Amino acid sequence: MLSRLSLQLSLILLSFSLSVITSMAGPETRIIIDAGHGGKDEGAHWYGVRESDLNLQVAKKLEALLLARNIPVTMTRRSDVFVPLAKRAEIANSYQNAIFVSIHFNAHRMTSIHGVETFYASPAGKPIAMKIQKELVKLVETRNRFIKRGLGYAVLNKTKCPAVLVECGFISNPLERNRCKTGWYQMLAARGIAQGLINSMSPLNQKKVSDEAGAAGEKAVVKSE
């Protein structure tokens, strides 16, 4: 009788311990991938290359890489459609534990300008921006334009979760534009962003994202500095 009571008590304590551990673990971090622009809003447009198209291509590659690591993902758009900025933030704010990453490509009237940069608005977004920028520069091998505070970006200011905006290259620069529109460059950009996100989510998990761009893609990278 005593042993049965002890067993029941042990099971109750074990059940309580598991519930405490589960509550402490909290909900799984979800990555909100925002392919900038879309539909009637093409973003930058240079020599037949539309920013909105490149944004979506990188976003889909990023989604595949994260899903391969069993990381939950939500896309703000999956096709060439217009999504208002407020709606993008609303999607992110519907999740309790999330990181918002907006994918963009850059342009400038001075066509010699090139490189990648990552923006953040809140203190929570800064370390994520730093990790993404570090991995992105390492893989795409272009000029490091560093991280910057982007207080003017609605998608960064209206999101409650940590949020960053990544500029993956300048399509106004002839050499960089030719790289940006290739599948291997887009995969390298996606890998850099994915690794930065993974490093941000779990500092102890430094396992590299698999080289889905292929060894040939790595060797084909030419510095645009």
CATH of the domain at 31: 3.40.630.40
Q: What is the pLDDT of residue 207?
A: 55
**Closest C-alpha to 155, from 199, 94, 93:** 93
Q: What is the pLDDT of residue 212?
A: 46
User: What is the domain extent for residue 119?
Assistant: 27-219
Q: What is the pLDDT of residue 209?
A: 65
Task: Report if residue 1 sits inside a domain.
Answer: no
Task: Report if residue 45 sits inside a domain.
Answer: yes
Task: Report if residue 153 sits inside a domain.
Answer: yes
CB atoms within 10 A of CB 175: 17
Q: What is the pLDDT of residue 42?
A: 97
- 10-44 residues labelled b (16+ CB within 10 A) or e (exposed): eeeeeeeeeeeeeeeeeeebbbbbbbbbbeeeebb
Task: Report if residue 176 sits inside a domain.
Answer: yes
Low-confidence ranges of the chain (pLDDT < 70): 1-27, 202-225
Q: What is the pLDDT of residue 176?
A: 98
Provide the number of structural domains found in the chain. 1
Rounded Cα gap, residues 17 and 6, in angstroms: 16
Task: Report if residue 15 sits inside a domain.
Answer: no
Q: What is the pLDDT of residue 26?
A: 42
Q: What is the pLDDT of residue 201?
A: 87
Task: Report if residue 167 sits inside a domain.
Answer: yes
Q: What is the pLDDT of residue 210?
A: 52
Rounded Cα gap, residues 32 and 28, in angstroms: 13
Beta strands in 80-222 (DSSP E): 98-106, 116-120, 144-149, 163-170
Task: Report if residue 113 sits inside a domain.
Answer: yes
Task: Report if residue 5 sits inside a domain.
Answer: no
Q: What is the pLDDT of residue 18?
A: 31
